[in-house]
Every structure is written in C-alpha cells, then in structure tokens.
Amino acid sequence: MSHQEELIKQAISAWVDGEATPEETELAERSVRENAVYARYAAELRKLTSSLKHWEAEDLSPDFRQRLQNLSEREGFSMKNLFSHFNVRLAGGLVAAALAVVVVVHFPEVMQKEQREKEILLQKQQTAQAVAGPQKAAERSQPIVADTAMLAERSADSLSVGSKNVVSGYAERSELRAKEMFRTAAPAASRLAPGGMTWDQRYIPTQPGNTEGYNKVEESSFKNVISDPLSTFSIDVDTASYSNLRRFLNEGQMPPQDALRLEEMINYFHYDYPKPDGNEPFSITTETGPCLWNPAHQTVLIGLKGKELDTATLPPSNLVFLIDVSGSMQDPNKLPLLQKAFTKLTNQLSGKEKVAIVTYAGNAGLVLASTPGSEKSKILQAIENLQAGGSTAGGQGIQLAYQVAMENFIKGGNNRVILATDGDFNVGASSDAEMVRLIEAKRDQGIFLTVLGFGEGNIKDSKMQQIADKGNGNYFYIDSLMEAQKVLVKELGSTLFVIAKDVKIQVEFNPAQVKSYRLVGYEKRALANEDFNNDKKDAGELGAGHTVTALYEIVPAGSKEETASVDPLKYQQTEVQKSGELLTVKLRYKEPDGDQSKLITKPLQVLQTFVAVQSTENFLQASAVAEFGLLLRKSQFKDKASYQQVLDTLKGLKSEDKDSYRQELMGLVEKAKALDESAVQGIAFKS
C-alpha cells in the first residue's frame, strides 16, 4: 500500500468516526466521490460501526461491554474503529460473521470460547494488515473469512443449545439473527477473488432500528390527448432525493425506489437557460428532441430561469435555526455535520441578517436570542456548544421557533425558519395534520420554512418533504460538507430568497401533433386541472437564480402505438383545430407578498421541434439524468434505457462542469451499474 493510499484510508476512517480535521474531511469526501474502491471502503466502515453501536446497546451484557472496553484500552484504539485498522477492504461475509459473534457472546455457555476466538481473529487481522500489496492481503484474508464463517455457525449451534435457559425470548431472536448472518457470510467467503473482495453490500442485512420512511411513488402513465389534453403540476426545486440516492450508492446500496423523485434528480443540476427580460421574474425555455430511452418517442423540455438578485439589494433576513439535538442526532453525519454546515452558513451572514437558535430534544429551548449576523463569534459559539441527547419534541420545537420568528418579524424582509433534523418527530404535538396546519398558518403570515435532512437510519423523508412544501420552502438532504457548501453557501440566495410563489404550470397538447404524453416525475406535485386558476391552491416557490426543468415523453400523432383511451362520447364531440403548434405552456405565479396570480402563456411551434436540429446540452443533460432515474426506479417506462447510454450521453457534453457535479454523477452511474450487475450475478450464484 502506498503512502498516499494509507493517508486516504486514515482520513476516511477519521471521517466515518466524526473525528476528521477539515483537511481530512476534504480528502475523504473527494476520494469517496471519485473512487469506487474508497467509496466501498467507507461504506463498509460505516455499516460496521453502525451495527456495533446498535447491537452493543441492544444485546451485549454489561460484563461483556466492560471486556470490550478493556480490550480497546489495551489495544489503544476505539472499538468503533476496530476494523478500520485492517488495511484491506473487508468482505461483507467477514463483517456479517463478526457481527454474528458480537450478537451472541452475551450467553454464558459460549462467552469464554468466543472471547478467545475473537482475540485470535484480531491477531489474524493485524497480521494481514502487515502484508505488502493488496493482492497478497486479500489472499491471506480468505482463511480469516472462512474461519469467521465457521465461528458464526458454531455460535449459532451453541446458542440453540443454550437458548433453553435464556429468558425474555432473547435466545430465539438472537439465534435467528446469527443464523441469518451465517447464511450471508458463507457465500461471501466463497466469492472472494485473488484480486480483492467482491462483496455486494446489498446482501448485508438491514441494520437494526432502521426506520427511514418514504411515501410510495406511483409513476405517471401515458394519457391520451383527445380525452385528456391538459397536464397541470406545481414546480419543484427540492433536491433532497438526489443527495439521498448519492448516499445510498456511496454506501454500496441501491436506493429504495420510493426515495427516488425524478424531478429532484433533474433539478439538482445547473442548466444554462437565458436570463429573464423585462419585469417578469423568470424566463421560459422550451425544446423538443429524440427520447433517449425510447427512439419511437419524443421528449419535450420546459425550463424556467429565475432572475438573480444583487447582493446589495437583498432584503434583510430574520432567520431562526431550529436544530434537533435529540439522542438520535449523535452520529457523526448528523449533529457534528450539522454544526459544520451551519458554521458555513453563519460565515456568509452580514449585519442585514439576524439569527436566533432554537433547539429541541426532551423539551424545546431558546439557545440564542435573535442576534445580528455581524456578531458571528456569538452565533458560532452557540452552534459549537450544541450537544445531542434526549427524546424528540419536534412539535414543541416548531411552535417555539415560529414564536421567535414572529417576535422578530421584518416587514418586507425574508422571515424564515430553517429546520435541521434527521426527521424523527416522536414526542409532543407532532401529528402530521397538526404540524401542517401550524406551518400553513405561519406561511400565510409571511414566515417560510426550509428543511435540511441529516444522517441515516431514521430519515422521515415523506414528512420532511410535506412540511417544507406546506411552508413555502425547500427540502434538502445534507449528506456531506460539500453538499452543505452547495446549499448554504453557493446557492444561498436561491435557498433563502423567494422571487415568485405558488408557481403552477399547465400544458395543453395539440392532438393534431401529439397522440399521448406522460410527465416524467412530479408525481407528488400533480394538480387537478381546475387548480390552475384557483389562487387559493398552494404550489411551489422559485428562489433567486433558481432553474426548474420538467420533461414530457410524448408519442407523436400518427404513431401506430396503442394508448389508453375511452369510448367515444355520446353527447359531445371533440373537434381538432388545425395548428402548427405542438403545445402551449401556461404558467401562473404570485409575487412573494402577493395574493393574486399572474398568467404567462408560451406556445411551442412544431417547426421548432421536429426538424433535424442538434439537441442542446441542457436537453441532453436533463434527459440523461431522467434516464438514470428510470433505471434506478426499475420503471415500467424505461424501455431501452441503459447505464452505458447514460454515461455516453454525459461524456459527450462539452459545457463547463461546474463544481464537478457531472463528473460525480458519472461516478454514481458507474456504481449503480456495478451493483445491478453484481445483483444479477448474486441471484445466479444463489440459484
């Protein structure tokens, strides 16, 4: 192992443990983002330490925990970082089998034997660490994995004998857990390759206590233009889904299908749309080109570009940081990352902004009264002093935060609560309906809500998305310090300052040109057609400088492809008007402090679309991201989509790759491709 590789792995180890310096954090995040090997290494460390933490608290006796503590003190490193000192990548079988041992050792009849075997295993790992060169290290790891698998099997057998004398059902539950882990470990041991470990982490058992929540997403289907010519939806500028799926892929897992919202994936990226002219707060761009994943179809792009605000003319801000400091926020990628993120935000503030900090755990409390942004040291000290512990009084926290925001309300200014949490609201007045009513009432009084999600294991994605939507704000998932930099520094204006609210789009398709259509994504943003003209109906907000992109997949008129239809109407007939227009885009919005909407209409001519013209890079990038989303969702509409086609499209783009987001995306596509391929191999292996 080279000196540089050793430095990178040390940085990743410290980063996973939440003990990294800023330099180590930067090195670890860059290495994980750009190198699949280091991403897998970090994922294995994170899963192992998370499992040890959960199972130590749940299953291990005080006596054995003390033994582990004594061992860690003797060896000179923390148990949390035990396996990170093993400098070849751990096989999933080794992880699972070792955890199986940890789960069952609290039984007296196997305690001493397993303790001795654990120490032998540690010695073998330390021996493997000294091997020069990853190939030899991997080869020497094979007997370790095999020994560990046998150890797990013997542990399960011993446990089944001793379980007769164990009370409270502990034995049965732990026996099942140990046997499941051995079942996982055995094929992993046999799948080791001399060149390195090939474990597919999707086969690692789900970690105990995982309560992440996602609402089911029902994909939009094709609609017949004759019977259903209108498509209406609210805009969406949230990006949480993309950074969340990045977290899963960087940990070696495919994201849950319901965690994938294609519009948030598409809108994560920058698009070079023209700036608005005149008094309108945004420009509208339309384009049509070939559908990448279905050559028989076309794709229509609709893009909005919000006007950018001069920093000198930004209105003053009244901000309340509402921070979750409950016990579930102790993990390094929760409160410690949150503190670093809010430090970055605070460093961007000026005397025009004022900040208050409210925290909630067992009870809600005011940590910092409203303080001018120029007094950075006072705000930063309050952030640094935050500590996690206690239950989660989310309802009380939100009520207090809004009370503080109202007491410091700035008329004509930006009044906003910024909620940072892992999403676990479980104590106090926290029913969804009650919380939503409170947030809607404060929204109508001019106080908006932005939600930042952190960590893993208990993300309540569905609830966080809902309350951000109802609070005229955005929902972001912060999976790294780089994402915090993007959301809270580089895009601060679009995150905090609204230039148009209740933005709705309605598209009318011309049946003479289009046979059927489907909106790609926006399932949670769909509106009834009559809601478009209803100014009481809430919709999405557009921030300063924001871009919004929507894609339609359309079947051209004249296609022989069958589409859903209804029987001809008896009492009314639909007459198709001859027109050279493909569709008409209508858009409604309100001024930030207005109550009455304004209408913008823009037709899209056929001659601008179906002639052989080169697609723009905006169109190709959005289409590639959509195709990637269809693959991840295993969509019934993915047709001829492929990971390689996504990669080829992205590699062909020549425009500037700002902040290397496109390069990172290609890395994620590669990881998803490898996971899908290994899953197929795993299924073949099991059969």
CA atoms within 13 A on the CB side of 371: 21
With helix as H, strand as E and coil as C, how does 311-350 read? Answer: HHHCCCEEEEEEEECCHHHCCCCCHHHHHHHHHHHHCCCC
pLDDT-wise least confident of 200-204, 508-512, 586-590, 599-603: 200-204
What letter would DSSP give residue 481?
H
Tens digit of pLDDT for each residue in 64-79? 455 545 554 544 444 4
What is residue 390's predicted lDDT score, i.e. its pLDDT? 65
> How far does CA 77 lie from the centroid of its chain?
32
Q: Is 50 exceeded by the pLDDT of residue 83?
A: no
Q: How far is CA 171 from CA 55, 99, 108, 111, 204, in A?
A: 14, 16, 12, 14, 22
How confident is the model over 468-488, as a mean pLDDT? 90
With helix as H, strand as E and coil as C, how does 483-497 read? Answer: HHHHHHHHCHHHHHC
Residue 389 CA to residue 401 CA, distance in Å, equals: 19
260/60: higher pLDDT: 260
Q: How far is CA 543 from CA 132, 452, 681, in A?
A: 54, 16, 45
What is residue 326's predicted lDDT score, i.e. its pLDDT? 85
- Choose among 399, 312, 298: nearest CA to 623: 298
Tens digit of pLDDT for each residue in 621-637? 999 999 999 999 999 99
532/106: higher pLDDT: 532
Q: Which domains does the chain show, CATH number per domain?
A: 3-209 (no CATH), 223-309+498-559+576-609+620-678 (2.60.40.1230), 312-496 (3.40.50.410)
Tens digit of pLDDT for each residue in 526-552? 999 999 999 999 999 998 889 999 999
With helix as H, strand as E and coil as C, how does 452-480 read? Answer: EEECCCCCEHHHHHHHHHHCCCCEEEECC
Q: Are 32 and 12 in contact (CB under 8 A)?
A: yes
Residue type, 552: Y
What is residue 60's predicted lDDT score, i.e. its pLDDT? 45
Confidence band of 236 (pLDDT split at 50, 70, 90): confident
Structure tokens belonging to residue 536: 């009481």
Share of the chain above pLDDT 90, in %: 43
How confident is the model over 642-664, as a mean pLDDT? 93
Structure tokens belonging to residue 265: 């994936």
| Coil/strand/helix, residue 364 | strand
Handedness of CA 383, 388, 393, 395 (dihedral sign): positive
First CA to last CA distance, the chain: 37
Q: Are 12 and 28 in contact (CB under 8 A)?
A: yes
Angle at alpha carbon of residue 85, lines to 82 and 89, rounded to 5°: 105
Tens digit of pLDDT for each residue in 275-317? 998 888 999 999 999 999 999 999 999 999 999 888 777 889 9
Sheet containing 414-421, strands listed edge to edge, beginning at the edge strand earlier in sequence: 364-372, 353-360, 317-324, 414-421, 447-454, 475-478
The enclosing H or E element of 368 equals strand 364-372
Confidence band of 516 (pLDDT split at 50, 70, 90): very high
- Choose among 513, 489, 669: nearest CA to 584: 513
Residue 65 CA to residue 50 CA, distance in Å, equals: 16
Most confident of 21-35, 46-60, 342-356: 342-356
Residue type, 40: R
Q: Is 50 exceeded by the pLDDT of residue 655?
A: yes
Query: Under the phi-then-psi rule, with left for phi > 0, alpha for psi from -120 to 50, and beta for the rest, what region is 131?
Result: beta
Average pLDDT for the chain? 77
Residue 266 CA to residue 256 CA, distance in Å, equals: 18
Residue 436 CA to residue 426 CA, distance in Å, equals: 15
Return the residue matching tokens 């919709």: 539
Q: Is 90 exceeded by the pLDDT of residue 377?
A: yes
CA atoms within 13 A on the CB side of 269: 30
Residue 175 CA to residue 152 CA, distance in Å, equals: 11
Q: Are 553 and 299 in contact (CB under 8 A)?
A: yes
- pTM as predicted: 0.72
Question: Phi and psi at residue 569, in whole multiples of 5°?
Answer: -75, 145
Most confident of 2-16, 117-131, 175-189: 2-16
Q: Is 60 exceeded by the pLDDT of residue 115?
A: no
What is residue 125's predicted lDDT score, i.e. its pLDDT? 53
- Burial class of 130 by CB neighbour count within 10 A (0 to 12, 13 to 18, 19+): exposed
What is residue 280's predicted lDDT score, i.e. its pLDDT? 86
The enclosing H or E element of 504 equals strand 498-509
Tens digit of pLDDT for each residue in 168-211? 333 344 444 444 444 444 343 333 333 333 333 333 333 445 67
